[in-house]
Amino acid sequence: MKYRLAKRILPCIVVLLAMVCMWRWLSFAPVLQDGDLIFQTSRSRQSTAIGVASLSLYTHMGIIKRTGDGTMVIEAVGPVKETPLKSWIKRGRFGRYAVYRLPKLQKSQTDKVFSASRGLYGRPYDPYFSFDNSAIYCSELVEYAFSAAKIKLGKRQRVDELIMLTGPAKKLLKRRALSDPQCRTKGLLGADCLDLIMKRQLVTPISIAQDQKVQQVYSNYPF
């Protein structure tokens, strides 16, 4: 009898705890503003490599834009596009995300950020982390868009300056070296191509999150 009662009660407790956790995540979520930066841990194949290399859970990011159709996230996922906020959050691991804000951001600056972003809509994703803008990756989009408003975000660093270029990160670089366009143009193979990639600069999501011009206003990460 007690066993049957426990079997009936346990699922209810689990559901209740899940609802409490969900309430905790949503009840403290801020009112988002145009130009806010939103970060998540993506489910992409390269997410683990990026996280390991930069020692961060932030492996994808975008720009908040409020529209008549709801809140959108401008992101570079191939193509550069606007994604509904709820869909964007759902796509990340465990629904975790963090929001950062530029406290002194003016509407005139936000307009320039959005205008620069629109100029990149439709561009494919850049898996080689170049800065030629023919293809775009997530933090590159943010850096480029805010530079149009005379705001420098993040820190560019060489690939070989990243913290942990081992395991998944090293495997990703070797795999990308096999089809790297710049290496092909220069006729570089193997170690020579990898050496070129190591000297390439990139900007990571965590470097933007750590910029002194931005402040975290929300996070449902456990730490």
Average pLDDT rounded to a whole number, residues 100-121: 98
Per-residue pLDDT of 36-84, as tens digits, reads: 999 999 998 788 888 888 889 999 999 999 999 999 999 999 999 999 9
Per the CATH hierarchy, to which homologous superfamily does domain 31-219 belong?
A: endopeptidase domain like (from Nostoc punctiforme) (3.90.1720.10)
Q: What is the pTM of this model?
A: 0.84
pLDDT band at residue 22 under the 50/70/90 scheme: low
User: How far is the CA of 9 from the CAs of 15, 16, 17, 21, in angstroms?
Assistant: 10, 11, 12, 19
Q: What is the DSSP letter of 33?
A: -
The pLDDT score that the predictor gives to residue 1 is 47
Residue with tokens 């100029």: 119
Q: Positive or negative, the Cα torsion across 210, 215, 221, 223?
A: positive
CB atoms near residue 123 (< 10 Å): 17
User: How far is the CA of 23 from the CAs of 9, 16, 28, in angstroms?
Assistant: 21, 10, 8
Q: Give me the residue spans of the domains in the chain.
A: 1-29, 31-219
Per-residue pLDDT of 185-219, as tens digits, reads: 999 998 999 999 989 999 999 999 999 999 999 99
pLDDT band at residue 163 under the 50/70/90 scheme: low
pLDDT at 5 over 80: no
pLDDT band at residue 7 under the 50/70/90 scheme: very low
The pLDDT score that the predictor gives to residue 204 is 95
Question: What one-letter code names the amino acid at 145?
Answer: A
| Pairwise pLDDT comparison (122 vs 48), residue with the higher score | 122
Average pLDDT, the chain: 87
Query: What is the H or E stretch that residue 65 is in?
Result: strand 60-67
Beta bridge partners of 83: 73
In the structure encoding, which two tokens stand for residue 208, read together? Answer: 């933007």
Cis peptide before 127 (omega within 30 of 0): no
